Amino acid sequence: MTRLHATRWAAGLAAAWLAGASPARAADDGPVKIGVLVDLEGTYADIGGLGAVEAVRMAVEDVGGSVLGRPIEVVSAGGQNKADVAASIARQWYDSGVDVITDLPSSAMALAVMNLANEKKKIALVTSAGSSDITGKFCSPYTAHWTWDTYAMAKGTGSSVVRQGGTDWYFLTADYVFGQALERDTAAVVTASGGRVLGAVRAPLNTQDFSSFLLQAQSSKATILGLANGGTDTINAIKQAREFGLTDSMQLVALIAFLSDVHSLGLKVAQGLLLTEAFYWDQDEATRAWSRRFFARMKRMPSMTQAGAYSGALHYLKAVKAVGSKDPDAVMAQMRKTPIEDFMTRGGRLRADGRVIRDMYLFQAKTPAESTGEWDLYTLVRRIPGDEAFRPLAEGGCPLVR
């Protein structure tokens, strides 16, 4: 996207918003309320957390702070990465008038909130959690899975490594819904691409000492260690694998890694790492402009899920305005009908199963010599078209797909 294109996109958004809402007015009274349910202190705090809350606030600011003549309110809380805690908060929010809940960093949290959204006919925008089951067997007419999923990450990274000769795989997997789905999806891509899966070991979330798990991986004689985990688990596993000399015999592949992970590791450790993301701050003028705004507030560049929190909230607010109502069925129908266009999304669309189809990008972590600054971390290897990256609609097992 050129600077002119970026400027026109921003100007177009403002002009469209100021042109006024649909003449229809909703019967449902009260402000539009967005709940941002995040991880404040745990594994996913850096990729979502307060940054996701701020991204949603930026979307609210960019539509003028109100819609249909009503103020837009943003509430936030930490869900401790626990399904029961998330469900309790979500129930209280929905019952007190929150219209949509977003972020949802763990798949267990997301599924718990999705169940409540179905029960109460409210909307859930899953912008952080990644299990592909969210749009598979657990799909919902009131849920949109916005930014990424395990299938897309597996497809982008797994197939590329096999093509480069990394055929014998062993998985170090986070032992919960997200990790298991990531292992399953990546293993399927590896075998379909001509590789072999020699085994896997499961480690609890927030493991501090990976030594026993890494020894099991080493004894497998596999040449690729696929890290089917995320956040601090990925960072700790990579650091300890290098400390133990495991990288002398195995290539580490971070199946889910984010900009904040590479930044935390440093390029001396992370250089050469292949990873797939939906967004990188330095892709073009539009991504740079939005990311600089975010940096001014948070003093760090945004992750793809923080960018996704903005994108999802903005599309939701556009839909509310277009239908002249907060009615969840009408809003979801409008969100599916309208192409998704913003600084991180080009011609995106929301499918019947709740999956947002967007381009994904295979990046490689730069060497220290290639980097020109603290956040200059990636080189683009390949753009992966959305229809190639994400699971075909008919193959997900979503009951909504007939």
pLDDT of residue 323: 98
Q: Which residues of the chain have pLDDT under 50?
A: 1-12, 14-27
- The bridge status of strand 251-254 relative to strand 224-228 is parallel
Residue 199 β-bridge partners? 170
Reported as a single tens digit per residue, the pLDDT across 316-332 is: 999 999 999 999 999 99
pLDDT tens, position by position, 73-97 = 999 999 998 999 999 999 999 999 9
CB-CB contact of 180 with 209 (8 Å): no
pLDDT value for 251? 87
Residues 6+ apart with CB under 8 A from 95: 120
Domains of the chain: 3-148+282-358 (3.40.50.2300), 151-277+360-389 (3.40.50.2300)
Give residue 29's pLDDT: 73
pLDDT of residue 52: 99
CA dist 253 and 172 (Å) reads: 10
Q: From 192, 169, 247, select the one nearest 391 (Cα to Cα).
A: 192
Using only C-alpha atoms, the chain has a radius of gyration, in whole angstroms, of 21
Phi-psi region of 41 (alpha: psi -120 to 50; beta: other; left: phi over 0): alpha
Q: Is 250 helix (H, G, I), strand (E, B) or coil?
A: coil
**Confidence (pLDDT) at 1:** 45
Report d(CA 319, CA 323) in Å as an integer.
Answer: 6
Global confidence as pTM? 0.86
Q: What burial class does residue 299 get, using C-beta atoms within 10 Å of its C-beta: 0-12 exposed, 13-18 middle, 19+ buried?
A: exposed
Q: What is the pLDDT of residue 352?
A: 98
Residue 402 pLDDT: 80
Neighbours of 115 (CB within 10 A): 17
Please tell me the predicted confidence (pLDDT) of residue 28.
Answer: 63
- For 212-224, give one letter per residue: b (16+ CB within 10 A) or e: ebbeebbebebbb
Residues 347 and 117: their CA atoms lie apart, in Å, by 27
